[in-house]
Structures are given as C-alpha cells and as structure tokens.
Structure 1
Amino acid sequence: MSKERILVVEDQPDISSLLKIYFTAQGYEVYTALRGQQALEICSKTPPNLALLDVNLPDMEGYDVGRALRASPRTRHIPIIFLTARGERRDRLIGLGEVQAQYYIVKPFDIEEVHTIVKNQLEEARRRNQLHPVTNLPTAELLNDQLRQLLVAPRWALINVHINGFETFTNVYGAVVGEDVLRFVALMLNEVVSELGGNEEFVGQQSVGQSFMITTLPERSHAICERIIARFDEEIGLHYNYRHRKQGYIEFVDDTGETRQAPLMSLSIGVLTQDDGPFADIRELSEVAEEVRQRALIQAREQGKRSFAIYGRS
C-alpha cells in the first residue's frame, strides 16, 4: 500500500517544518507549500489525500485554496483541515460552511490532537473505499459519481485507459514492481491532464487496478490521448530489465508449462463524447466505453501498433 499524502500549506517555516517532520515520522508522505498558488500546482500534479491549510498566506487566503480544491473534480473529495490563527466566528463559518472543511483548528494547536483528526479522516476515506490503495486515485463511488455527472452534462469526453499486458508483467516481475507501474501511470496521467487540461478534468481508477478513466472536454481529448500514448510508450521500458527492453518482449511459462513470449506493455484507449449518447445510466456508459477500448486493442494488433486510441462508438 502506498503512503498517504498530506499537503501542508503554511507560510511560517517553523510550523511547516514541525508538521512535516512530525507527520513524516508517523509514516505519511508530506508535501509543503508556502504559498497558495504553489499548493494548487502540487494538487494538480499529485493530488494529496488530505490538506492542512493555513488561512493567512502571502498570495491568497487559505479559503481560496480550499474553494479551488472543492471546485475541481480531481480534488473536491479531499478532506480539508484549517490550522490558523484566525479564530473569529465569521472565519469558522467561512471555513466550515463555504469551503466545507472537515475541521477548523485555531493556533496554537496540539499536534497529537491534529494527528488524531488527520488519522480519523483518512480512515473514514478508506472505509468508504474512495481511493485506490496503490495510486491514491479516486475509485469506486467517487468514480461512479463523476460518471453520473456526465449523464447530465452538455459537453464531455470520457477517456478509458487500460494497460495491456499488465498481468503477464506482474507474473514475471512480481506484484511490488507491478504496483510501481500503476503509480507511474497514475502520476503520468495527472501530469498530462495538468499540462493540457483545466479545472474540469477528473482522473480516476477502476477497482480492478489496471484501468483508468479521465473526464475532460471534447476539444482536449485528442491532445491528451496523444500525449499519454507518447509518454507511456517512451517511458514504460524503464520498468523492464535491459534484456527484455532490448528484445521488445518478455518470456513467461503458461499454464501448460510451455514458454511463450509477450510484448512489452502498451495502452488501449477508448474515447466517448456526448455525441455518442444518450446513455441510460452509468452502467451503459461504462460498457460502451469498454467496447470502444476493446476495439482499440484489436485494431492496434491488426495494424502492428503498440498503444492505440479509438474515438467514438462507431
């Protein structure tokens, strides 16, 4: 299981350092930001599992950081805890009401109390099965909620991404290395979406592990898919040993005991937009997206290509 990521947004270096040292010692991966814009840039590339926000920041109020997190499909599920010197009733109402933070703690704080609150919030998220245990991407009901929103949205694109050959790879290299591949893909997808997308994008992962979904706008879908394919095909070889990387395939023993060859991992991508609908429910939407993705896999094999994308159901 991956370490859970905590983002500390605090402009006082001594407090920021204290929180980072403490929570790192508790087994968390801790990111720090001294400014609000820096925090939003971190969230766009590697969304944390929880955010600890100060209100008084040099470039914007922490409330604005919280509002931006709530406005983005990729970060709206993140628990927010305010740690601030501003303890007036009006401030609390903004933090808990407008921003919908889970807690509002006034400085000076008891760090062990903060840890208990953080731990409880993260345990609650795990209990609801909201995040994938390896990549920390939204999954299960969070993914379904995003698909439901597509059914009523006027314009959208759904990108269904699947890692071909992943099971064979993990059988040869082991589950731990397989988890490294999942984390690589999750990070790469977030980076591509952050570079080419906006605030509307969502990146999630199906519970089975090797399938991912991105929601975006139709005019961005081609560029996003092309960049994903280019980066994956260029970088995936780093997860193989030199011999397999050079020969372009790996050997494995099948159930009959016979040695076979399998190509390096690739991606098959199916893309739907609102023009491919209407869809009755998210089950039909997911099934059609998978059908298009399967067509991409078949055409890639027929044309002798590696990663491949198909746009539209017909």
Structure 2
Amino acid sequence: MSEVVVQVRGLTRAFGKKRVLDGVTMELRAGSVTGFVGANGAGKTTTLRAMLGLLPSEGETLFLGRPLSAWRAPSRVVGAAFGGVGGHPKHRVREHLRMVAVGAGVPDARVDELLEQVGMCGAASAQLASLSLGMSQRIGLVQALLASPQVLILDEPANGLDPHAVRWLRDFLRGLADAGTAVLVSSHLLAEMQQMADRVAVLSQGRVVAEAPMSDLLAHAGSESVVRVQLALDDMVKLAALVHLHGFGLRRTGHDTADLTGVSREGLARLCLNSGIPLFLLTETRPTLEDFYLTIAHEEFEIA
C-alpha cells in the first residue's frame, strides 16, 4: 500500500450559524489520484481551502506529518490551483510565472519546461486577462507545479476544457501520480472522476461519507450489472426458461428485448450459444460512481 502523505483530521468550519464542514477526515496517498466528489455546494472548495490554511477552521491537516505552516518551503510540499491564475490581468503569462518561480526558488527554465508540457508555449506572451477558461486552467496547473511539489490539489480542473483537453488532463495527472505525486482533484463530474481517479472521497452535507479505492466503491454501488438482450420473439420463451433454470432475474422491456441481472454478458452469451438461442443484441451496463453517490449521499446530483 502506498504511503500516506496527507492526513485531514476533523476539519470543521461554519459560516454564521451554518456548519459547512462537519469533521471532514480523509487521507491522500503518494502515487494516487484521489477524486473528491460531491454536489455543488457540498463544501469541496471550502475543504480544500481549509486544508491549505486559507480559511480558519477547527481540526488539522498534516502534510508529510507536519502542518503546512511548519514547512520552510511549502510550495515544494504542496501545489494548488483553484480555477485559473491569480495575477494582475495585464501581466504576461511567462513573466507572471517567472515571478512566482522566483518566490519559490525555482529557475526560469522550469517555467518554459512546464509550459511545453501543458501545451501552452504559444500563450507565453499573452496577457492573463486574454486567456480562455481552459487556457487559464492549464496555466494555473503550471503555477501549482513550479516547485515540483509532492502533493497537488486541484479544484474542478476540468471546467472549461473541451473533450480532448479533458483526456489530456487525465493522462497528465496519471503521469504525475505514476511518478509518486499525491493528487487530489475535486469535481462534481462523477463520470469523469470514474475514469481519472484511483481513490474516491465522497463529501455529503459537510462530511466525508465514504473513502476507498474506486474499485471498492463500484463493487458496493448498490446496483447490479444489467445485461440487455434482443432476440427473436419465438426465442423469448426459451430465454425465460434458461433464466429460471439458473436463477437469473429477467424483465421484459419490449416484445423482443429484455434486461437480465445476476449474470455477466459473457456468461449469458455462452449459455445462449449452448442452448441454441441466437442473440441480435447483447450489452452490459455496469454500476457507476454516480450509482454509488446517489445511493449513499442522499443529495440531488447535478448533471454537468
């Protein structure tokens, strides 16, 4: 099991009489992408800011065993991006990043290296105000990575990215994790998190209500795989008999279609082949992170 590099313990934060965070507790592991998911307004951004000491809160967050304030060079421990770049709108991209690099004790060459990695060399001379949302997301990622931190925290980094850029982001973060970085990505885009993350922490009503490897959550999603078939009407009786014999579940969805549970697509295909039942259509829908979230969070899921 990979090393735990960040420990979040009992983070609590209230705005007036409303408790936004209610004892948030979770861990980040080296070499893993952790998806931090929840509905809009669940408290994800507040949690990230509290972890970094940007908002006062009760509880603690330890980075490599220490509070972030105890590190002399915190930018080498953790990098973070909260939806773009914080800088004067008239500053040029390269000059802004070089200024940040000086503060982190990083050579200028690191700026150009990262701009190339994220495909933003062509925007190096652009003013920050002229960047699109997607471009700003990439430049924010560069800024967070300047000091080669061991932990990377990103808040909704896929916002403003087209499908090609989202795939690039997924591969880029996978590469960072494979190199040993602990990556935390907050998002309400559950389908994207299912493809991107190794681990998931689910936030609901200010609390982490589930934290586990993605595979474990999907295995307990509370929803069976559904195998959908289409076949000749005359063969429906044979299929029903086969289902009854093996104890599968069957629900007719049309005169020549049905949904089956309790059997895999491959298993059903072999049984039908051996029983002489030709199938015109055979698909399988597996449980998703959305299924799990809707099962345990009891909140309205907002489709992006």
TM over 0.5: no
Tell which has more relative contact order, 1 or 2 (C-alpha 8 A, sep 6+). Answer: 2
Per the normalisation by structure 2, the TM-score is 0.28
The structure where strand makes up a greater share of residues is 2
Which structure's CA Rg is the greater one?
Answer: 2
Per the normalisation by structure 1, the TM-score is 0.27
